[in-house]
Amino acid sequence: MTQGFVPPPYPYDRLDKFKQSAEKHEGGLVDLSIGTPCDPPAPAVIAALSSSNSERGYPPSIGSDALRNAAQVWMQRKFDISVPTSQIAACIGSKEFVATTPQYLKLRTPDRDTVLFPAVSYPTYEMGAILAGCRPVAVPMTATGGLDTSKISNSDIKRALMIWSNSPNNPTGALDDLKSLANWGRKNSVPVFSDECYVEFTWSRKPESILQHGLDGVVVLHSLSKRSNLAGLRVGFYAGDKEIINYLKEVRKHVGMLVPGPAQAAAVVALGDDAHVVQQRDVYLRRLEILATVLSKWSGFNIDLPSGGFYLWFDAKDGWTFAERLAAVGGALVSPGDFYGAGGANNVRVAVVQPDDKIALVASRLTRE
């Protein structure tokens, strides 16, 4: 029998071997590997979860009117863009959308088979291509960490179903040139999918959405997971090009992609509030600064603050060696950079998603050395 698809080891499971040495420290392991929020969501959001009266019936796959309106108003407020609610729809967090969209696009355009994505990036862009039976093609990065579209071959452009951008980028924190990218996509008839789940945590300039450069040929992806500390609820939304959104809305309805009603109701409240995001920005920025100082002092490596996102990303000569040493000495778990593509192998990603007292614990272990 021919061997079919075998799922590769899940990246974070590969860190299990470091857990034992980290756990030996008094106070235990401090997990700075997965980018899972640790801070509490806004109380009004939690209250909305139990009072929407939306448990009995099936929720609409495209999202309730209230959710799509809230997304529309948020995009208007944040980016000064007017997106018709008919061009906005819900997804069950953004990961499932990243992982499943290539297969739907392939069914619709069977003569194209290629998914383009940033060479150093969140691994699910590549996995979505693989799950669709498509060709994943990594696009080299520019010196500033955006997509270098000039390096994409003409044959890959002709075969491309889509190109992913992620700005701010996980893991690098870099910001992409979204205007050029939207224009490149339109010129080359390649739909641009812009994953902007970290957009609220943009540090070096005003947050930017690709939809500020027109809706045609582009789709944006947003999530409540990072913005509002709601990764456990699984709510996000996508918006943009009328024809692509209509297609995805229809096909996802057939699959049964439904965000639970109470989660939709909570997301409406979260999207309507900016105060908790302002607070959370301060928290992440402070933690980024503290950990950058502590880790660079301890290791001697140069650690810059990112342009966006809540990760430190730096060259540590060898990501796995650094991760092993930090687990042993500081009791902290971080991600070796090859999780995000071969080009990241020298680097390390540190997610500042632990409460301040845990971060202080790591700092005290490292300064004691």
Ligand X SMILES: Cc1ncc(COP(=O)(O)O)c(C=O)c1O
Query: In angstroms, what is the minimal distance from the CB of 291 to ligand X?
Result: 18
Q: Which of 89, 231, 244, 266 binds ligand X (CB under 6 A)?
A: 231
Q: Whole-angstrom Cα distance, residue 12 to residue 333?
A: 10
Query: In angstroms, what is the minimal distance from the CB of 169 to ligand X?
Result: 7
Q: Which of 236, 319, 336, 337 binds ligand X (CB under 6 A)?
A: 236
Q: What are phi and psi of 190, to 5 degrees?
A: -115, 115
> Cβ closer to ligand X: 173 or 331?
173
- Residues 147-166 within binding reach of ligand X (CB under 6 A): 166
H helical segments located in the chain = 16-23, 43-49, 65-79, 94-108, 124-131, 154-159, 178-188, 224-227, 242-255, 261-271, 275-299, 319-330, 356-368
Sign of CA dihedral 283, 284, 286, 287: positive
93 sits near ligand X (criterion: CB under 6 A): yes
Mode of pairing for the β-strands spanning 332-333 and 347-351: unpaired
Query: In angstroms, what is the minimal distance from the CB of 118 to ligand X?
Result: 10
CA dist 148 → 142, 152, 160, 165 (Å): 5, 8, 15, 11
- Residues 272-311 within binding reach of ligand X (CB under 6 A): none
Mode of pairing for the β-strands spanning 311-315 and 347-351: antiparallel
Instruction: Read off the amino acid at residue 113.
Output: D
Of 39-47, 92-100, 111-119, 150-158, the segment contacting ligand X by CB under 6 A is: 92-100
> Cβ closer to ligand X: 228 or 299?
228
Q: Which of 18, 117, 122, 322 binds ligand X (CB under 6 A)?
A: 122
Mode of pairing for the β-strands spanning 88-91 and 236-240: antiparallel
> Cβ closer to ligand X: 36 or 50?
36
Residue whose structure tokens are 């990764």: 231
Q: How many secondary structure helices (H) and strands (E) does the chain include?
A: 13, 12
- CB of 130 within 8 A of CB of 175? no
> Cβ closer to ligand X: 101 or 149?
101
Query: In angstroms, what is the minimal distance from the CB of 145 to ligand X?
Result: 14
35 sits near ligand X (criterion: CB under 6 A): yes
94 sits near ligand X (criterion: CB under 6 A): yes
Peptide bond into 43 cis (omega under 30): no
Of 14-22, 38-46, 76-84, 88-96, the segment contacting ligand X by CB under 6 A is: 88-96
Per-residue contact string for residues 165-204; x = within reach of ligand X by CB under 6 A: -x---x------------------------x-x-------
Query: In angstroms, what is the minimal distance from the CB of 123 to ligand X?
Result: 9
Contact set with ligand X (CB under 6 A): 35, 93-95, 98, 122, 166, 170, 195, 197, 223, 225, 231, 236
